[in-house]
Amino acid sequence: MSEANKKSAARRSSDFSRERRVPSLPEQSFFGAWFTSDRERDSIRNGGHSGSRPTFCSSSGRADPAAGSDFSEALIAGLSAPQKSIPSRFLYDAAGSALFEKITTLPEYYPTRTETEILRHQAEEIAAIVPDGAVLVEFGSGSSTKTELLLERMENLHAYVPIDISATALQDAKARIAERFPALRVMPIEADFAQPIAIPPEFSTRPLFGFFPGSTIGNLRPVDAVALLASMRRTLGPDAHLIIGADLKKNVRRLLAAYDDADGVTAAFNLNLLARANRELDANFKLDQFKHSATYDMRNGRIDMHLVSLREQWVDVGGRRFHFDAGEQIHTEHSHKYEIDGFHTLAGEAGWRPQVVWTDAEHLFSVHVLVADA
């Protein structure tokens, strides 16, 4: 496709979204998507990336013999600190992944369906930006559900490279996509996307298009988010693009409802951390003595998830005893919310330049196309 065509395709607007060009972007510069693995570990404490599982992961299904001991070490370390915490990557065992799938369909949980609608409505324009012969690289691909919306339109794509730590999820996704798009090469990489990833050399000379949906970027603190975006830029090389979803700041009540739904699915999802410790680590958390809590931290623009001890109590985990005061909290997850400009600043610090951003009519969620800075 010619530059001119690409430009007009990207500029065209649709009824659905207010397509927003980046206001400060001059016309000439117009051209140019977890989970953390059970290996990633301890990154919250040592300052590396931390992440959470992307939106669609059917089941953890992995047979990692070290998983139990990793959970055990992380839990004991997290409960030993003055401010107790449990790394969010442990939310996504098979039970947790099933609960999260349910969250994505709740009326209160707007991010998944809003992002999906934006992608559905903009798929053609996104496809128009992707050069012929490009390779689509998805970070934390899970079941690759949202990807199919793009693949339907990307007729001249050379290959699709889904990256995920779950071999089962990759196999299932590959089988489904290979059947639906028989001409497309699908080359999965089983890896933790928070670590640097080597793209197969046969693809590395082609234009690479990253895809990171789900606002998983929001589960990292801004400094870690910048580090992850910079690492993705290195993975994808100099001429890369990145399509990334970021949840937007909005009415606080609406935000809180999304993280504390009326049916208690999110509460069950959060409490599954303690249930999992009981199942796997011979812990004795009394699940009715803890409750889920989601609060909005105005200053940092983020939802904080906690498990709150309902009374003073002791809990045994792997032969150790932990004391909880009444009302004491275990921190389990952050979910940062952005303004479009704030997200652009973050991306800029990681060497990405905004090309185009779409939002839904209610301005709930944003999908950005970023270009690697020269």
**Binding-site ranges for ligand TRP (CB under 6 A):** 52, 91, 103, 111, 214-216, 218-219, 259, 266, 269-270, 305, 333, 335
Q: Which residue is nearest to ligand TRP (CB)?
A: 335
Least Å from the CB of residue 106 to ligand TRP? 9
Least Å from the CB of residue 119 to ligand TRP? 16
Cβ distance to ligand TRP smaller for residue 6 or 214: 214
Cβ distance to ligand TRP smaller for residue 117 or 125: 117
Cβ distance to ligand TRP smaller for residue 91 or 283: 91
Least Å from the CB of residue 262 to ligand TRP? 14
Cα 70 to Cα 67, 80, 187, 274, 337: the distances in Å are: 5, 15, 29, 15, 30
Measured between alpha carbons, how far is 116 from 103 in angstroms, rounded to an integer?
A: 15
Least Å from the CB of residue 131 to ligand TRP? 30
- CA of residue 298 relative to chain centroid, distance: 22
Residue 315 in contact with residue 284, Cβ under 8 Å?
Answer: yes
Measured between alpha carbons, how far is 142 from 58 in angstroms, rounded to an integer?
A: 7
Cα 152 to Cα 46, 111, 243: the distances in Å are: 41, 22, 16
Measured between alpha carbons, how far is 276 from 273 in angstroms, rounded to an integer?
A: 5
Nearest CA to 164 among 233, 214, 227, 106? 214
Question: What single-letter DSSP state applies at residue 149?
Answer: H
Cβ distance to ligand TRP smaller for residue 142 or 214: 214
Cβ partners under 8 Å of residue 278, min gap 6: 284, 285, 287
Cβ distance to ligand TRP smaller for residue 87 or 162: 87
Least Å from the CB of residue 122 to ligand TRP? 21
Least Å from the CB of residue 9 to ligand TRP? 30
Cβ distance to ligand TRP smaller for residue 231 or 332: 332
Positive or negative, the Cα torsion across 94, 90, 301, 139?
negative
Cβ distance to ligand TRP smaller for residue 110 or 160: 110
Cβ partners under 8 Å of residue 33, min gap 6: 54, 138, 139, 140, 210, 211, 212, 213, 214, 216, 242, 243, 244, 245
Q: How many H helices and E strands in the chain?
A: 12, 14
Least Å from the CB of residue 127 to ligand TRP? 26
Measured between alpha carbons, how far is 356 from 9 in angstroms, rounded to an integer?
A: 11
Kindly give the pairing relationship between strand 241-247 and strand 365-372: antiparallel
Least Å from the CB of residue 259 to ligand TRP? 5
Measured between alpha carbons, how far is 363 from 82 in angstroms, rounded to an integer?
A: 39
Cβ distance to ligand TRP smaller for residue 6 or 306: 306
